[in-house]
Amino acid sequence: MSSELGDCVRRNLNRYFRDLDGQAPHAIYGMVLKSVEGPMLEVVMKQADGNQTVAAAMLGISRGTLRRMLVDHELL
């Protein structure tokens, strides 16, 4: 199953590997998660009108996990 988001990640990862120019890749998993989580949190928090309980429910995570993620992404 393909999605626009998946296609975007695929294209950007292929570009990332091309741009390495022989250097070894490093910490790809964290890089991708950080790149996707921040914008996702911004959009979900806006949709939830800043209500963390509502946003956590939309994301299917606990409010505590959401707060940690918001702090990690400097969105609080």
Question: pLDDT digit string (tens) for 28-43?
Answer: 999 999 899 999 999 9
pTM check: above 0.75: yes
Residues above pLDDT 70, as percent of the chain: 97
Instruction: Give the mean pLDDT of 6-30.
Output: 92
Which domains are seen in the chain, by residue range? Answer: 4-72 (1.10.10.60)
What is the rounded distance in angstroms from the CA atom of residue 28 to the CA atom of residue 57?
A: 28
Residues above pLDDT 90, as percent of the chain: 83
Instruction: Give the mean pLDDT of 38-58.
Output: 97
Residue 21: the pLDDT is 87
Mean pLDDT of the chain, nearest integer: 93
